[in-house]
Amino acid sequence: MPGYVQVNSKVVQVPVAPGREVLARRGAMLAYTGQVTFRPVTAAQGIPGMLGRVVAGETVKQMVAEGSGQVFYGHLGLHLTVIDLTPGESLQVEADRLLCHDASLTSSVHFLGQQGGIRGAVRGAVSGQGLFTTQLAGDGSAVVLAHGGAIGLQVTPGRVVAVDPQAYVGHRGQLSVDVTAKVGWREAVGRGSGEAIQLRVQGQGVVYVQASEQKF
């Protein structure tokens, strides 16, 4: 979709028009020109909606920009990466790394954890052993946040990539992401106590990793 301009590594300029509304994280608007209004929305689809009472911190407050103009978005000076999706492709991004995206994209929430299902999600979210990701699909663009910028690592059959979950930004393509615990991993990712999880990415696609072992 024409329009998302990366002004610098930390700011994007997004056009807003009738029929082309933009969903963004609350507080991410830096400036705007034209006639644009902002309306808060609550993300109530998928697992977080159901777990809302259990996992209060997992839902990111969002707002929708409507009208006609250009909005400058940025957040805490974090680096931004614009990802353009094509129809038929889906992008999975860690839930609170999504800065903004075209409202026309379909979004659903997936939980990456050792146990599947709702109970797995609850246990995982409570114990910190999993990740909530937002899956976006359709024709449009999305902007993701990363501490220090993100690089894409190619994943090909036969070449598994292991990723520190705190550095995981997102992935696209035909990939399966398994969450496992590994001996010695705790040393590698520097966790003091508790079991540490590792993401093992296999298949064909790209996994995005940020330049920091601290999430933000």
121 or 179: whose CB is closer to another protein?
Answer: 179
Closest distance to another protein from the beta carbon of 117 (Å): 28
- Residue 158 near another protein by CB under 8 A: no
- Residue 60 near another protein by CB under 8 A: no
126 or 162: whose CB is closer to another protein?
Answer: 162
27 or 117: whose CB is closer to another protein?
Answer: 27
Single out the residue of 2, 77, 87, 88 in contact with another protein (rule: CB under 8 A): 77
- Residue 160 near another protein by CB under 8 A: yes
Closest distance to another protein from the beta carbon of 196 (Å): 10
Per-residue 3-state assignment (H helix, E strand, C coil) for the chain: CCCCEEEECCEEEEEEECCECEEEECCCEEEEEEEEEEEEECCCCHHHHHHCCCCHHHCCCEEEEEEEEEEEECCCCCEEEEEEECCCCEEEEEHHHEEEEECCCEEEEEEEECCCHHHHHHHHHHHCCEEEEEEEECCEEEEEEECCCEEEEEEECCECEEECCCCEEEEEEEEEEEEEECCCHHHHHCCCCCCCEEEEEEEEEEEEEECCCCCC
- Residue 207 near another protein by CB under 8 A: yes
Binding site for another protein (CB under 8 A): 7-11, 26-33, 37-40, 63, 72, 74-79, 147-149, 151, 153, 159-164, 167, 184-185, 187-191, 207, 209-214
